Homo-oligomer: A and B are copies of this chain.
């Protein structure tokens, strides 16, 4: 049995294409009283971008705090906010932001039509009812959230990072306007772009493979290398290319490898964001991914991006345990690269020493 893969049904790509959001919403505004809810990265609070959005009477703007990765608790808070503001059904939800904001929109759209709490849907195929129609407008490129079938949520109580994996989680429409990524701080542009690079090369160097995923991942990796080894990763052409690489990479969802488990450890123990955590992870995996490690170091240097050292020094023994557990729990990913005996390389001591080197 092969998976029946759901694509994002519609996308618009091009500089300035955000202007077409108004027309798309107009098609959805069927009934009076059915509003649109905008989830907007709090980074844009008070900025011109928000004033330019087609917000109408009865719509609601909700700023999403993307300082940390989305938690299940926060999704429940956001869902309550949306319910409170809208007694009648919503016609549409719009996410304007990076991976966290898009993931929040996906999770809350599911919760609007499915009872219970966010954590009830962490897993595979648990969403039962079609969610609210939703549109993604990424303002950061690299997470692939705009076209993936999951939304990554941290469950703090259960120390679990797991999405609502479901075809229902896929956006109905994506608007890819590269212009929106122009104002991203350079470091953040780099870390987020690297998310595509890493999950794609991890897939390509694993043992569980799928040739269509390979084709998409190969192209995404090649585009990332072009972008991040060029003189300026944020010139006009590269802003476009990075948005496309993210989209292709998001469609190339396969098994990951060793970067993502180490990255997950950092997110669980230190609440570090996914993109930068991936970068730290790769810096200590030179023996496991020699080529990609070397390539990554060249990219860091070429783009003059700084990764401050010493982030895992002088932690408590308990913290190191959490780091180790947060990484080693991802057995499928680790064995995808290293085989079932991955603990022969990744002993507890070995793992903790790697974290200490970061």
CB within 8 Å of B: which residues of A?
1-14, 17, 20, 24, 173, 176, 210-212, 215-216, 218-219, 223, 237, 240-241, 244-245, 247-248
The distance from the CB of A327 to the nearest CB of chain B, in whole angstroms, is: 31
Given contacts A218-B219, A219-B218, A219-B219, contact A212 B3 (CB under 8 A): no
Within 8 Å CB of A9, what residues of B? 6-7, 9
Q: Which 8 A-B pairs have the closest CB atoms?
A: A2-B14, A7-B7, A219-B219, A13-B212, A211-B240, A2-B17, A215-B244, A2-B12
Q: Residue on B with the closest CB to A213?
A: B13
The distance from the CB of A193 to the nearest CB of chain B, in whole angstroms, is: 15
Once the chains are docked, how many angstroms separate the CA of A241 from the CA of B211? Answer: 7
Cβ B2 vs Cβ A20 within 8 A: yes
The distance from the CB of A169 to the nearest CB of chain B, in whole angstroms, is: 15
The distance from the CB of A141 to the nearest CB of chain B, in whole angstroms, is: 13
Cβ A11 vs Cβ B20 within 8 A: no
Specify which of B3, B6, B219 is in contact with A215 (CB 8 Å cutoff).
Answer: B219
Specify which of B7, B12, B14, B215 is in contact with A11 (CB 8 Å cutoff).
Answer: B7
Specify which of B8, B176, B211 is in contact with A7 (CB 8 Å cutoff).
Answer: B8
Within 8 Å CB of A219, what residues of B? 215-216, 218-219
Once the chains are docked, how many angstroms separate the CA of A151 from the CA of B26? Answer: 30
Within 8 Å CB of A218, what residues of B? 219
**5 examples of A-B residue contacts, CB within 8 angstroms:** A4-B24, A9-B9, A215-B244, A215-B245, A216-B219
Once the chains are docked, how many angstroms separate the CA of A7 from the CA of B172? Answer: 11
Within 8 Å CB of A176, what residues of B? 212
Once the chains are docked, how many angstroms separate the CA of A7 from the CA of B20? Answer: 18
Within 8 Å CB of A12, what residues of B? 2-5
Cβ B10 vs Cβ A4 within 8 A: yes
Once the chains are docked, how many angstroms separate the CA of A13 from the CA of B241? Answer: 27
Given contacts A2-B20, A17-B2, A219-B218, contact A212 B10 (CB under 8 A): no
Residue of A6, A14, A215, A244 ringed by the most chain B CB atoms within 10 A:
A215
Within 8 Å CB of A13, what residues of B? 2, 5, 210-212
The distance from the CB of A83 to the nearest CB of chain B, in whole angstroms, is: 29
Within 8 Å CB of A247, what residues of B? 212
The distance from the CB of A276 to the nearest CB of chain B, in whole angstroms, is: 26
Q: Residue on B with the closest CB to A14?
A: B2
The distance from the CB of A251 to the nearest CB of chain B, in whole angstroms, is: 9
Once the chains are docked, how many angstroms separate the CA of A240 from the CA of B24? Answer: 37
The distance from the CB of A282 to the nearest CB of chain B, in whole angstroms, is: 24
Cβ B17 vs Cβ A11 within 8 A: no
Once the chains are docked, how many angstroms separate the CA of A1 from the CA of B11? Answer: 13
Q: Residue on B with the closest CB to A215?
A: B244
Once the chains are docked, how many angstroms separate the CA of A218 from the CA of B219? Answer: 9
Within 8 Å CB of A24, what residues of B? 4
Residue of A212, A240, A244, A248 ringed by the most chain B CB atoms within 10 A:
A212
Within 8 Å CB of A212, what residues of B? 13, 176, 244, 247
Within 8 Å CB of A216, what residues of B? 219
